[in-house]
Amino acid sequence: MSALCIARRSVIPTAQAAVMAKRDLVLLLAIVAVLFGGARAPLASAAANAEPNFEVKLDLVAAALDSSGAPTAEVRSAFGLGASSRALAYEYFDTSPLELKNAGWSVRLRHKDGKDLDLDYKKRFAISGENIDAALTEANRQGFDSSDTNYAAQVDWTYEKMTLSFSNKKSESAKGYKGTRLPSESDARTLLVDRIPGKLADWSGRNWGRDRLADSRQHGPVEARDWSGSWQGTDIDLEVVPIRAVSGSGTETVIELSFKTDTRDEARTLRDKAIGTLRSKGWLAPTDVLKTDLILTRY
């Protein structure tokens, strides 16, 4: 209460002073209500968790290929794959100590024959068992939620585990790059830095991701072939990619069968069927072969 009010009360009758004190109290309460009460705007609700689709990825053994390195006729028949393949090449960019990978990020540049260049910036989150909701909640806490339409949420379901990922995909004209040819290392790096999304650019501090990508180097490229088809009413692909052997001499061929679904239940049903077919034919590699990690560590 102001000094002026106190001074006035010393010279006015007691009854009038009481009225004035009551008026001042009412005014004070009104001010408090405006500042801290119902007049305050409600807090915005947090966005809901993202809703992912599912991609099943299963690895096959060398017996699934014929002498030319293509899937055998029996494999193609079992999964509705076409006889012709599409060529593609891709590479990853990261620093030598793999700082982007260690932060859960990967940056890939890919060129499919006859298509534009594909730029893919991906953030991964581990899933404990099949607790997808917990991973989605953690991703939400880190800024990946249903409101961000720049990123597509997906659960990768391999033979051994599930992984949640958020991908930001961009394209760039492939004019001047015949077939599956990729830009030079310096040109590719410049392109990837120029198109970097904001989440990665400032991931753990201002320009953290941008600086790491600017300091990155080429891991790859690898050249692959892909056979596509339809199985159980779902688009399906089989990719064959030779990757440098761990010894540094020769290559190790990775054979990956993959398909996407909208729901977990559909993914589970088709995954079980695919595993059953592969196992019964002796084509299943009962382990996970992580192509991204192999390329990052061997090139």
Q: Per-residue DSSP letters for 110-146? A: EEETTS-EEEEEEEEEE-STT-HHHHHHHHHHTT-ST
90: number of Cβ within 10 Å: 23
What does the alpha-carbon distance between residue 201 and residue 104 come to, in Å, rounded to a whole number?
A: 14
For position 248, what pLDDT does the model report?
87
Task: Report how far apart, in Å, the C-alpha atoms of 45 and of each of 49, 53, 57, 147 are.
Answer: 12, 25, 36, 12
Q: Which fold has domain 54-115+170-298?
A: Hypothetical Protein Pfu-838710-001 (2.40.320)
For position 173, what pLDDT does the model report?
98
Residue whose pair of structure tokens reads 């309460």 in the numeric block: 29
For position 16, what pLDDT does the model report?
37
Dihedral pair phi/psi, residue 160, rounded to 5°: -100, -25
Domain boundaries, given as residue ranges, for the chain: 3-36, 54-115+170-298
Q: pLDDT tens-digit profile of 252-265? A: 999 999 999 999 99
297, two tokens: 């560590």
3-state secondary structure of 102: helix
Q: pLDDT tens-digit profile of 169-227? A: 999 999 999 999 999 999 999 999 999 999 999 999 999 999 999 999 999 999 999 99
What does the alpha-carbon distance between residue 83 and residue 71 come to, in Å, rounded to a whole number?
A: 9
> Cis link prior to 221 (omega < 30° from 0)?
yes
3-state secondary structure of 205: coil
What does the alpha-carbon distance between residue 89 and residue 252 come to, in Å, rounded to a whole number?
A: 16
Confidence of residue 22 (pLDDT cuts 50, 70, 90): very low
H/E element holding 237? strand 234-244
**CA-wise closest residue to 267 among 125, 80, 55:** 55
63, two tokens: 């017996």
Q: pLDDT tens-digit profile of 85-121? A: 999 999 999 999 999 999 999 999 999 999 999 999 9
Query: Is residue 273 predicted with pLDDT exceeding 90?
Result: yes
Q: Which residues lie below 8 Å from residue 191, measured CB to CB, with a gap of 6+? A: 109, 117, 119, 172, 183
Pairing of strands 234-244, 217-231: antiparallel
